[in-house]
Structure 1
């Protein structure tokens, strides 16, 4: 039997890349046992991918929608104000009842480019006795590797993960190095990604995808050129150059 947390408990739950079947057994259990399940939404109010996945596994009556400025990248003051407001709302849930458990559903993994990081940082200051935990989730790069038949790493090969929102120069530097390169969040900068792949000679076997496992899935064949823009949450894998079996052991 698990020991009861000494204070209110906040659990960041990884909901995987969006396919409702790619959610762990532990994640489903935590969602169903939690006193409340918080899902992040944009200020425009539509159901996001994390919330849509949660609704496949948890009682909708316990879902609490909290607005984050997820689409705000320029106005830092507005973004941080949204984080503060969201933190205050979740703090109310954590103070309700006797040591409640509040789950926060995040797409992918809560420790990889996740909104949960900002929320937990805020709440540690608002709720002094808070216990913070995470449940890992399947990542988009794992899903894309599986669906495309791409091996992420062999032997001593490194894997470099780059958010293209950091700039195309960061991506080019990674592509010029050894090993496999994974690019996240590159949809609006797809043309720059395509150029970086060509300049570094890594375009021949790269694969990309978006909305994997969902009705509007996009999945490229290896080496398919990137033309135009793609959804924001697009993922790309440029696998390491390999020669024969076990060549990098």
Structure 2
């Protein structure tokens, strides 16, 4: 089969609630010959291993027998490691094996949006390197910061306010700089850095307005004030610090 007839689409499936998929996302997933979902690499060979968040969401819209798990080093930390690169390569080769077996439309389900801190970019790069003619597309998805803003009833940005999105894995300095600015700050992947984030929020007088989202879109979702307790804080936590607003329309 000629690769120029093949399309790999990264589909954003939102933060965890199956009702937050767009109509386009559902259509692309249902029309795909193969629906790919990320799984922890050490669980890839175990059919009884629990699926990831993306797989759980997709199962609400697509039959389980149409899903195929791709291994990624999802729990690896500290930059580009050898384990991560091996997993990216294995996943790309698995996609092309599906193509060589006859699949023409492949969809990869990714939490949130495929163009925002997503595993899909690494997969797409690997597939392009091995088979440049494969067409790569994306379908946008609802992000965790949008879901948290909706749950908390807090606008992300108004008027001339900037909106800054940062991963806590980038370190505390860029978060501190953003908090000192005029707009809303969203921090992903707080987890082990959460106590330092709390200290910085307190130092800048922003702790009282901040909102923390745990397990967004899942049955055990928790949205509320920020505290220093990290006992059940997942890696994919979301911290929202609204811009300082003293009156309606004040920054128009």
TM over 0.5: same fold?
yes
Residue 78 of structure 1 and its aligned partner are, at CA, apart by 1.3
State the partner residue of 1:216: 220
2:89 to 84, 88, 111: 84
Gaps of 5+ in 2: 44-49
Q: Could you say which residue in structure 2 is the equivalent of 1:246?
A: 249
CA distance in 1, matches of 2:23, 2:230: 38
Aligned to 2:228: 226
Q: CA deviation at 1:168?
A: 1.3
Superposed CA offset, 1:37-86 (max 9, x none): 00000024231100000000011111001110111124711110111111
Between 137-146 and 125-134, report the one with greater CA deviation.
Answer: 125-134
**Aligned-pair CA distance for 1:6:** 4.2
Alignment of 1:33-48 (within 5 A): 33-45=31-43, 46-48=50-52
Moved more, 198-207 or 68-77: 68-77
TM-aligned CA deviation for residue 112 of structure 1? 0.1
Secondary structure class of the residue paired with 1:21? helix
Q: In 2, are the aligned partners of 1:9 and 1:102 still within 8 Å (CA)?
A: yes
CA RMSD of aligned residues (A): 1.4
Aligned match of 1:112 in 111, 116, 121? 116
For residue 170 of structure 1, report the CA deviation from its aligned partner: 1.7
Secondary structure of the 2:38 match is strand
Deviations 1:169-224 (A, max 9, x none): 22111111110000001022110110111111111111011112322111114xx4
Shift, 1:93, TM fit: 1.3
1:8-64 deviation per Cα after TM superposition (whole angstroms, max 9, x unaligned): 100000000001111111101101000000000002423110000000001111100
Matches within 5 A, 1:48-127: 48-74=52-78, 76-97=81-102, 100-127=104-131
CA distance in 2 between partners of 1:228 and 1:161 (Å): 21
SS of corresponding position for 2:136:
strand
Secondary structure of 2:207's aligned partner:
coil
TM-score, scaled to structure 1:
0.93
Does the CA-based 8 Å contact 1:73-1:79 persist in structure 2?
no
2:189 counterpart (185, 202, 212)? 185
| Uncovered stretches (5+) of structure 1, i.e. residues with no partner | none
Aligned pairs, number: 242
Residue aligning to 1:145: 149
Are 1:134 and 2:132 counterparts?
Answer: no
